[in-house]
Amino acid sequence: MMQYTFLKEIGGRAEQQDSVSIFTLEKQTFMVVADGMGGHLGGALASSTLLRIAEKNFLFHNKSIDNSPKEFFNKIIEETKETLRDKYYTKNIDPNTTVIFALIIKNTLHYAYIGDSRLYLFEKKKKLLFRTRDHSLPEMLFKNGQISEEEISTHPQQNVLTKSIGIDSLDIAEYGEIKLSPYKEYRILLASDGLWAMIKDEELYNELFSENSIEISAKKLLNVAKYRGGKNGDNISIAILSIEKKSLKLFYYFLAFLLIISLIFTLFSFNKESSSNDKNTTKTQKTKKIPATLSWETG
């Protein structure tokens, strides 16, 4: 069973440049978080344009997505670039956006991203299974061993990105897929840097697997990020998908059924064999030749 929710908050900024949503159709769930950049109007235009194109492609072309999720992601990115170029190239703005996609089909999580909006995959017993690695200067410094992972979120150049989606962008998305077990409990979290920069991974895990509903958890995490960011805090976006494990009761019932059938078959076979042996014994007794009585004549 799946449940989902998504929210966004303007934070300490004058303009909301994030866009976030979750779409579902048939047996597919599509999550999107886009964090716009590019000054006044530019970022908001870029992220909202991408979200609108993502929704259109998902709702009208979802039957072909199964064949190649990577092509589906690429189509959204390229169409976004073309739309931004056609509409805003001459308007003296520079619309850019990050994006993180998560597409769940059957028991597989497909993802793609450009920039520093993140995907987290938590599992109840093993905690953090996976998170995407940012396309940012601090992430590069971390990979080169110049800063620790904890310093990424507080680095003064945290907002300097190495990849984004824009009018002149040639950047290519990173892709991946992860198999999900139907018998494990997961939380998939998509977040802009306005959220993940303010809340530690362990705090995210603890709240997502708390007794709260995911709607309440989303509000709590958003409010914590807003409080910690203060008056200079960034826009905040959050999308959560809760995947509950399948009940094993039916599986156990099926095993018990098979065991009963096996026992019945064994008993039936045993009784049939015993009955056959009894018949064979009776038949032998009936057909057994009794020797003739010997007699001697005396003279």
Q: Say which residues have a Cβ less than 8 Å from residue 52's Cβ, sequence separation at least 6.
A: none
d(CA 169, CA 159): 17
Residue 267 pLDDT > 80: no
The pLDDT value given to residue 2 = 92
Question: Confidence class of residue 11 from pLDDT cuts 50, 70 and 90?
Answer: very high
- Residue ranges of alpha helices (H) inside the chain are 42-61, 69-88, 137-143, 193-196, 201-208, 214-229, 249-287
For residue range 127-154, list pLDDT tens digits in order.
999 999 999 999 999 999 999 999 999 9
For residue range 202-219, list pLDDT tens digits in order.
999 999 999 999 999 999
For residue range 53-100, list pLDDT tens digits in order.
999 999 988 777 988 999 999 999 999 999 999 887 777 788 999 999
Q: Say which residues have a Cβ less than 8 Å from residue 150's Cβ, sequence separation at least 6.
A: none
Beta strands 108-114 and 96-97: pairing type? unpaired
d(CA 86, CA 298): 136
Give CA angle at 56 (79, 109), nearest 5°: 90
d(CA 213, CA 4): 10
176-188 exposure pattern, b = at least 16 Cβ within 10 A, e = fewer? eebebeeeeebbb
Domain boundaries, the chain: 2-246, 249-288
For residue range 179-238, list pLDDT tens digits in order.
999 999 999 999 999 999 999 999 999 999 999 999 999 999 999 999 999 999 999 999
d(CA 144, CA 153): 16
**Least confident piece of the model among 8-12, 157-161, 183-187, 285-289:** 285-289
Question: Which carries the bigger pLDDT value, residue 295 or residue 215?
Answer: 215
The pLDDT value given to residue 96 = 94
Tokens of 9: 């908050």
The pLDDT value given to residue 258 = 78
CATH T-level assignment (fold) for domain 2-246: Phosphatase 2c; domain 1 (3.60.40)
Question: Confidence class of residue 262 from pLDDT cuts 50, 70 and 90?
Answer: confident
Residue 295 pLDDT > 50: no
The pLDDT value given to residue 293 = 47
Mean predicted lDDT score pLDDT of the chain: 88
